Structure 1
Amino acid sequence: MEKLAYDAVQETLYREVLPNGLEVVVLPKEGFQKTYATFATNYGSVDNRFSVGSEPPVKVPDGIAHFLEHKMFEEPTGDIFAVFASQGASANAFTSFDRTVYLFSATEQIEANVETLINFVQNPYFTDANVNKEKGIIEQEINMYRDNPDWQVYFGLIDAMYHKHPVHIDIAGTVESIYQIDKETLYRCYNTFYHPSNMVLFIVGGVDAPKMLEFVRRNQAAKTFEPQGEIRRYFDEEPPTVKIPRKEVKLPVSLPKMMFGFKDAAAGLQGRALLEQEVVTKLMLDAFIGPSSALYQELYENDLITDSFGNEFNSSTGYSFTVFGGDTPKPDELLARFKEAAQEAVEKGLDQAAFERSKRKKIGGYLRMLNSPESIAGEYTKYRFRGSDMFELLPLYESCTLEQANARLREHFKPEQLAVSIVTSPDR
């Protein structure tokens, strides 16, 4: 057992890699009644072409990671949600571009719930019948999101940005792709990506760390997992340009929805470099167009944006991009003013006072997040799978300079890397 002390944030993690390769991390929070646990695999929607060890690469249907997540909750004995509920726990799961996470929260029977979480994720149950049944359920989900304006404007933007990288494909896949999924392909993906050596179990809350680690050790020692070779992921080379500068969809909406953003021409950062890029980008975005910025207030006062307007930076080892947007009564006017302001910022740089205010805001938000076991549990594996550490964010925020933020702004705010996605009513 390894003890990791983070003095700057007064947190201590207990970490151990078990003989089968499973990484177990426990963060005790003295005085907290609720415990959160996540069992996560380094496997997301973009991982549709891969190989293991010396095996040749295999291409699997889009949406299979999400499909697997759905099927994992079905056990021969019934619905696993009912088991968690009987033990006083609330369970859930989600699939993102680069990970799949199973989780629960509870204030009682923690060991029983940890055991249930581990055991059901390590006990797949796929049959021809239950796989075929799930296709209809996911088809309905895909069709539901097809009519969702917020979903369409967001994924419309990513699709406009990317030519080849699978990040532009809906996490659930397409109706055509999910009907290509069969039991054998599910088991192949499961056996590849759900091997303990590709997973992290993270537990945070009112728990005794040594006792919990010993409990997990015993659970895993009773199971047999064959050693697995290195997982390799394959992606086509992504052109630096955006695929479509502007994409527009017609759906019944009371106000147009617009999202726009810049695609990073060069991706592939890993570990600390990726973490540093995230920190400086988020600070730059908040100083430039965050809710307390002069530009945000101007746009709001001129009725170009509503309080739904926001921004985010999405990055992983193979892609990174910014997103701005929300509801707007005047999409073209908003876009024109944004471009003008972005050019001004490139030429003159960010305001020093605004940048310092953003630093204080981000540091305060980070420290508040550390008081939420749920937030910590949700964030830890995201950074872990990217080769970095969420507990290193504070010193990076503290040391980031205005010069770094301005350099990142000039690097990222390039007109040829800008894409736009708009959802408007058919009668507009």
Structure 2
Amino acid sequence: MHKREYQQFQETCYTQTLANGLRVNLLPKQGFHKTYAIFTTHFGAIDRTFIPQGQSSYVTQPAGIAHFLEHKLFDQKGYDAFELFGRYGADSNAFTSFTKTSYLFSATQNIRKNLEILLDFVQEPYFTEASVEKEKGIIGQEIQMYDDDPDWQLYMGLLNNLYPKHPVHVDIAGTIDTIQQIQAQDLYLAYRTFYHPQNMDLFVVGNLNPEETLSWIEENQAQKSFSEFKQPQVKIATEASLQEITAHKEIRLAVNRPKAIIGLKGLDTIPDGRAGLAYQIKVNLLLYLLFGESSEWYLQAYNKGIIDDTFSYEFDLSRSFHYVSWSSDTNRPQDFKQAIQTVLKHARVTLPTLEREFTLAKREMLGRLLQRMDAIEAIANSYEGDLFGQTTIFDQAEIYENVTLTDLCQVAEKLIDLRALSTFVIQPKEEAKS
């Protein structure tokens, strides 16, 4: 095993790539009783157009296929994986994002057995037409629930504005219409293309012995055979053009107050590996300085009633897209938009004057990071594999320590393009006139 030692935090991460290509990360935590494992395939909601293994032409599958597959894998021949985990004292779950699907458990006992359950059910697909038809009703209810959620509609509305041709503008779960198109053969096709050990990684953290745990995993994998694998070829429109952006859109829903979200589409090129993680950290620091709760802008906007306690901002950096968003319930959506624009417009001038605030921000961000290092779920969930060059949460601390205010100014220069802004607003429904 390869050891990555983080002496500053007295932590060691053990990594091993198995003969079948599965990358395993093991991080023992002294004094912890719980163990957490997450098994991830780099296949998400945007990966709908691809060349299947052993074929030469692209196919496009219905929206929601990755999420549907996540649901169905728990339903095994003769047993339900959720119930089996519970029988051995583990809490289990799974999630699908735009770029990956992860399966996980946490437990304080029967770790070897629960690891075997995790590896086995994810690596043993079993779909029937009858079970697929039944699942359509379950997922359909989930989709309808999100359709009725104004905050989710606000978020998806912005993605539609920023990425009208990129698959990220479609809900991760798909739509009622698209999931009706999914058949068992579609699930098997996606599974065989993306669910191969060479396209997956396993991260286990907590109360464990790395040598012993690795031997359990190796023994489990040695009992299985996998077909020849080629890295999936996925076709995704990158949409770097400004012409694709919808500048403004409004809809009406059953809300008490208007909701507004503003997005800045990233048109710059993100560096690979660890430099990509550094880029993410720099943008997060930049946003904290300009829009955090202790910033001059936040206090003024709050006191003027432009924003309220619902205000938040986020930087999303994923494979093939990145953007910044700001959202709030506000009776003054236009003023909210103007306030954000003003800060961005003057960011290049403002940032160099915030040396003191920058020093404090770095200290606070590092403090938050240190707190997350005590949460085994945060350690494992922050791992992004190839996206950030196999870095872990402990690498983030070193980047935070070395980043400078000049770095933030350079990132702002590349990222901020006011032409790439978009606004989506949800207004309350008009009352019917008597």
Fold shared, TM-score > 0.5 on shorter chain: yes
* Shift, 1:252, TM fit: 1.0
- Which region of structure 1 is more displaced relative to structure 2, 193-202 or 409-418? 409-418
Could you tell me which residue of structure 2 aligns to residue 94 of structure 1? Answer: 95
Could you tell me which residue of structure 2 aligns to residue 214 of structure 1? Answer: 215
Q: What do residues 346-392 of structure 1 show as CA deviations (whole Å, max 9, x unaligned)?
A: 33335222222211111111111111101112111x25444341332
Amino acid across the alignment from 1:64: I
User: Does structure 2 conserve the Cα–Cα contact (< 8 Å) formed by 1:306 and 1:326?
Assistant: yes
Could you tell me which residue of structure 2 aligns to residue 397 of structure 1? Answer: 400
Q: TM-score, normalised on structure 1?
A: 0.96
Amino acid across the alignment from 1:27: L
Match for residue 371 of structure 1 among 371, 374, 379: 374
Could you tell me which residue of structure 1 aligns to residue 20 of structure 2? Answer: 20
* Shift, 1:96, TM fit: 0.4
Tell me how far apart the structure 2 counterparts of residues 255 and 355 of structure 1 sit (CA, whole Å): 35
Could you tell me which residue of structure 2 aligns to residue 416 of structure 1? Answer: 419
CA distance 1:77–1:425, change in 2 (3 Å) = same
Could you tell me which residue of structure 1 aligns to residue 77 of structure 2? Answer: 76
Tell me how far apart the structure 1 counterparts of residues 134 and 254 of structure 2 sit (CA, whole Å): 31
Tell me how far apart the structure 2 counterparts of residues 239 and 200 of structure 1 sit (CA, whole Å): 30
* Shift, 1:240, TM fit: 2.2
Could you tell me which residue of structure 1 aligns to residue 263 of structure 2? Answer: 261
Aligned 1:21-60 pairs, distance under 5 A:
21-51=21-51, 52=53, 55-60=56-61
* Shift, 1:295, TM fit: 1.0
User: Does structure 1 conserve the Cα–Cα contact (< 8 Å) formed by 2:140 and 2:176?
Assistant: yes
Tell me how far apart the structure 2 counterparts of residues 249 and 35 of structure 1 sit (CA, whole Å): 45
Tell me how far apart the structure 2 counterparts of residues 413 and 265 of structure 1 sit (CA, whole Å): 9
- Which region of structure 1 is more displaced relative to structure 2, 327-336 or 393-402? 327-336
Aligned 1:118-137 pairs, distance under 5 A:
118-137=119-138
- Which region of structure 1 is more displaced relative to structure 2, 27-36 or 382-391? 382-391
Tell me how far apart the structure 2 counterparts of residues 8 and 54 of structure 1 sit (CA, whole Å): 49
User: Does structure 2 conserve the Cα–Cα contact (< 8 Å) formed by 1:13 and 1:27?
Assistant: yes
- Which region of structure 1 is more displaced relative to structure 2, 216-225 or 51-60? 51-60
* Shift, 1:68, TM fit: 0.3
User: Does structure 2 conserve the Cα–Cα contact (< 8 Å) formed by 1:274 and 1:316?
Assistant: no
Could you tell me which residue of structure 2 aligns to residue 11 of structure 1? Answer: 11
Matched, 1:285 2:323: no
SS at match of 2:157: helix
SS at match of 1:422: strand
How many residue pairs get aligned? The number is 427
RMSD (Å) for aligned C-alpha atoms: 1.6
Tell me how far apart the structure 2 counterparts of residues 9 and 317 of structure 1 sit (CA, whole Å): 30
Aligned 1:18-417 pairs, distance under 5 A:
18-51=18-51, 52=53, 55-241=56-242, 242-267=244-269, 269-350=271-352, 351-380=354-383, 382-390=384-392, 391-417=394-420
Amino acid across the alignment from 1:397: Y
Q: What do residues 168-194 of structure 1 show as CA deviations (whole Å, max 9, x unaligned)?
A: 111111222212211111001111111
User: Does structure 2 conserve the Cα–Cα contact (< 8 Å) formed by 1:20 and 1:227?
Assistant: no
Q: What are structure 2's unaligned runs of at least 5 residues?
A: none
Q: TM-score, normalised on structure 2?
A: 0.94
CA distance 1:181–1:268, change in 2 (3 Å) = farther
Amino acid across the alignment from 1:173: G
Tell me how far apart the structure 1 counterparts of residues 176 and 270 of structure 2 sit (CA, whole Å): 30
* Shift, 1:266, TM fit: 3.2
Tell me how far apart the structure 1 counterparts of residues 224 and 176 of structure 2 sit (CA, whole Å): 37
Q: Return structure 1 stretches of 4+ with deviation > 4 angstroms.
A: 383-386
CA distance 1:88–1:384, change in 2 (3 Å) = farther
SS at match of 1:15: strand
Tell me how far apart the structure 2 counterparts of residues 226 and 200 of structure 1 sit (CA, whole Å): 17
Q: What are structure 1's unaligned runs of at least 5 residues?
A: none
Tell me how far apart the structure 1 counterparts of residues 402 and 271 of structure 2 sit (CA, whole Å): 20
Q: What do residues 275-298 of structure 1 show as CA deviations (whole Å, max 9, x unaligned)?
A: 121011011000110122111111
SS at match of 1:282: helix
Tell me how far apart the structure 2 counterparts of residues 339 and 383 of structure 1 sit (CA, whole Å): 35
User: Does structure 1 conserve the Cα–Cα contact (< 8 Å) formed by 2:161 and 2:245?
Assistant: yes
* Shift, 1:394, TM fit: 1.4
Amino acid across the alignment from 1:46: I
Q: What do residues 237-268 of structure 1 show as CA deviations (whole Å, max 9, x unaligned)?
A: 41421521112221111222111121011345
Tell me how far apart the structure 1 counterparts of residues 173 and 408 of structure 2 sit (CA, whole Å): 35
SS at match of 2:8: coil
Matched, 1:426 2:429: yes
User: Does structure 2 conserve the Cα–Cα contact (< 8 Å) formed by 1:268 and 1:317?
Assistant: no
- Which region of structure 1 is more displaced relative to structure 2, 331-340 or 198-207? 331-340
Tell me how far apart the structure 2 counterparts of residues 180 and 268 of structure 1 sit (CA, whole Å): 35
Amino acid across the alignment from 2:137: G
- Which region of structure 1 is more displaced relative to structure 2, 94-103 or 288-297? 288-297
Tell me how far apart the structure 2 counterparts of residues 374 and 422 of structure 1 sit (CA, whole Å): 35
SS at match of 1:82: helix
Identity among equivalent pairs (%): 40
- Which region of structure 1 is more displaced relative to structure 2, 251-260 or 406-415? 406-415
* Shift, 1:153, TM fit: 0.4
Tell me how far apart the structure 2 counterparts of residues 53 and 128 of structure 1 sit (CA, whole Å): 24
Amino acid across the alignment from 1:98: T
* Shift, 1:339, TM fit: 1.6
